Structure 1
């Protein structure tokens, strides 16, 4: 799938994106040495009305540059700072935009050497050649049950025949279950962090409900992951049949 842009403009746009994201990464790397993660999240929250935008931008950088460990920190941090609903929204937006940037970088800027990586890995080649017609369903399933590191999949799909539209749909909904769970845990951690500092408005029954909700949510994610794994295996085994 092409966007109708000339090679020159693709290079210009891609270069601008990489420089901008790289600059953001360089600026924020000094903040990541903070031992107390809560302090760093509070620093983001302290910028006021710009906090959601700053959070989304950092999440984009984390996804594009495949920064290990920071994905979970910000997934939990979204719920910690903004609550379950807004936290989930900001995480999904940042992750999806970052995934699209990675997808476009792979599709329009990676060379033949990277493309050959697919050709020498039979399962990846099979998914590229035989399953791309399944569109967003395969992207969705591989985000629920990654067959190799999650963030690398964004670059992988950019090298395949999957359309950008199917990729966006699959990523957006595929990351939703685990994102909601992480935001919920982060929100719960925010409430727990206030204990002893101020009088809590939550009763013991409220905390019991919180705990039950967390257990149920984790169980649902595990169940969805199990179903997704079975469905993906079914697709793969079906295409491998002569």
Structure 2
């Protein structure tokens, strides 16, 4: 039997089983599941997990199994059993799709589809987690669709199990609450039901939260320059403004300062970024003892609208270590005109 024939036979068997399962879907309710696993004793949990996995492969609604698991095994063990069955079913569907059609899709995909697949593969487990936490694509369809990519199996399984946990726990709590209500345990049912609904509400808010995180503009990051490059720029026809953010005592201390530098301590810049005045529109290099305070000052100034900021890597220690010239006379901050404010 050739590989192609075996693939077609597997696909036909799955399709047949799926049609049968869909036609009998009305019989997959809590009493039927309880009857199927209730008499198996300690093996009941394993049998239920296997049924859950089979149902996932055959496109049966996972919510039925999720609620039934909580009703049959309680909120804690129900979550564990449901997570095992759901993850196993998702993995089997992933492997089936990869075996049946991943190579064919890889050969035939082109244009926009190829770009999408490559983007998904580049994100790997992050995309899997996103699909699980933000169920824009139905769970059963996503399992097969992800199998058509080259996402590593280990990443897929781990991201699926972790990302399914909140929703799985919510359905188990709700299933247990419903079972308690039917048994007359009204107080417990209310408690478990509220917990389950709270978890589902939190999951419903995840898409908005994730969109906010993904669309949040990245914080501006200053560029860096080395002492030799800065010395060359200072000697050029359009030298940058050099702002030394150390204290005045350090500015005139043993390490000296870069000739022509302006002394604006970092605390003063934090309090009033406008002190830089006209330097806002010019290439500006920030300097301190090393580069920690200058990096902090750069973050403040970038937030205030400066666009052309550079931090001297290694600060005055690096400048001196490179044997570059230093000055010992303080240059007043007024050397840089301040912007007029009303």
- TM-score, length basis structure 1: 0.71
Query: What residue is the counterpart of 1:133 in the other structure?
Result: 122
Cα distance in 2 for partners of 1:144, 1:28 equals 27
Contact kept? 2:53, 2:85, Cα under 8 Å: yes
- Determine helix, strand or coil for the equivalent of 1:110: helix
Aligned-partner Cα distance in 1 for 2:108–2:172: 35
5+ unaligned residues in a row in structure 2: which ranges?
219-342
**Preserved CA contact (<8 Å) 2:174 2:193:** no
C-alpha contact 1:84 1:187 (8 A) present in aligned 2: yes
3-state DSSP class of the match of 1:139?
helix
Contact 1:25–1:61 (8 Å) recurs in 2: no
- 1:141 and 1:100 map into 2 onto residues whose CA distance is 17
Asked whether the equivalents of residues 63 and 71 of structure 1 are also in contact (C-alpha less than 8 Å), the reply is yes
CA positional deviation for 1:45: 3.5
1:86-165 alignment to 2 at 5 Å? 86-110=77-101, 119=110, 122=112, 125-165=114-154
Q: Deviations over 1:112-169 (max 9, x none)?
A: 665688657x4x6444212422221110011111333221111111111211111111
Task: Report the secondary structure of 1:147's partner residue.
Answer: coil
Say whether the 8 Å CA contact 1:14–1:105 is kept in structure 2.
no
Structure 1 residues 46, 210: CA separation in 2 closer, same or farther (over 3 Å shift)?
closer
Q: Which runs of 5+ in 1 are unaligned?
A: 1-6
Q: Does 1:224 align with 2:206?
A: yes
Separation in 2 of the partners of 1:228 and 1:101?
28
Kindly provide the CA deviation profile for residues 3-24 of structure 1, in whole angstroms up to 9, marking residues without a partner as x. xxxx96x9989978996x8998
More helix by proportion, 1 or 2? 1
d(CA) in 2 for partners of 1:14, 1:113: 13
> Which residue in the other structure is 1:4 paired with?
none
Aligned with 2:30 (options 22, 35, 38): 38
Q: Do the aligned partners of 2:21 and 2:58 also contact (CA within 8 Å) in 1?
A: no
Q: Could you tell me whether the CA contact under 8 Å between 1:41 and 1:77 is conserved in 2?
A: yes
Question: Within 5 A, what are the aligned runs for 1:73-88?
Answer: 73-88=64-79
**Which residue, 26, 46, 52 being the options, matches 1:53?**
46
CA RMSD across the alignment = 3.8
Q: Normalized against structure 2, the TM-score is what?
A: 0.52
Matches of 1:109 and 1:133, distance apart in 2: 22
Q: Mean Cα displacement is larger for which, 142-151 or 157-166?
A: 142-151
Higher Rg of the two aligned structures:
2
The 8 Å contact of residues 141 and 229 in structure 1, kept in 2 or not, is answered as: no
Structure 1 range deviating more: 85-94 or 47-56: 47-56
Residue number in structure 2 paired with 1:174 = 163
Q: 1:183 to 1:229 in 2, by over 3 A?
A: farther
Distance in 2, Cα, partners of 1:46 & 1:28? 21
Separation in structure 2 between the aligned mates of residue 18 and residue 77 of structure 1, nearest angstrom: 30
